Amino acid sequence: MKRSILIAVAGVLFFMLTPVQAQVAASNVKGDAFGKGIHGLGFSGGTASGAGISYRYHTEGKSSLQAILGVFKPKNTDTFYSFGAEFQHDLTRSNSARFFFGSASSYVYNGSGGNKYAAPFRFGVGLGGEFLLQDAVHLSFQGLFTYFSDGTILPLPQIAIHYYFY
C-alpha cells in the first residue's frame, strides 16, 4: 500500500515538474506598455458617454481620453444629438486585454424646438474592460453608475469598438 502511494506521488511530481508547451499563443500587439500615444477611431454607445462616432487617445502612460459625437435623424422622428467625453485609467494591462476605471459625461438632445428629455445631462463612474478581437480592433465593455440631471442614479452598461492606429 505504501509503495502504491509512493509511486502515485512520484508520478504526480514528475508531471508537475515536467515543462510543457502552452496551447495558446500570445498576441504580438503592443499592450503592456505602448511606449507612445495611440489613436483610435470607432463607435461608442452608452447612457453616460452618449452614442456615436468615437475618437480615443491613449497616452504613453495609463490614461485614455475619448470624445463621442452622435447625430441621428430618422425620417419620421426628431433629430437626436449626443455629445460626450470619457476618461479611462488603466488598472492592469496585457497584450490582449486591459481593465480600467472609467468616468464619462454627456449631453443628449432629442426634439425640434425643445429637448424631450427631462434629464439631458449624464455623468457616470465605474469599471470596464477592453479586449483584443483581431489585430488592432478592440471591444470594450463598461458598467457605470450613471447619474442623470433629474437625480436618478442607475447602474448601466456601455459598449465600444475601436480600431487603434499603432
The per-residue pLDDT for range 54-103, each reduced to its tens digit, is 999 999 889 999 999 999 888 888 889 999 999 999 999 888 899 999 99
pLDDT at residue 13 in the model:
46
CB 141 within 8 A of CB 128: yes
Backbone angles phi, psi at 2, to 5 degrees: -65, -35
The CATH class for the domain spanning 34-165 reads mainly beta
Report domain extents, the chain: 34-165
pLDDT at residue 26 in the model:
37
Lowest mean pLDDT among 9-18, 19-28, 136-145: 19-28
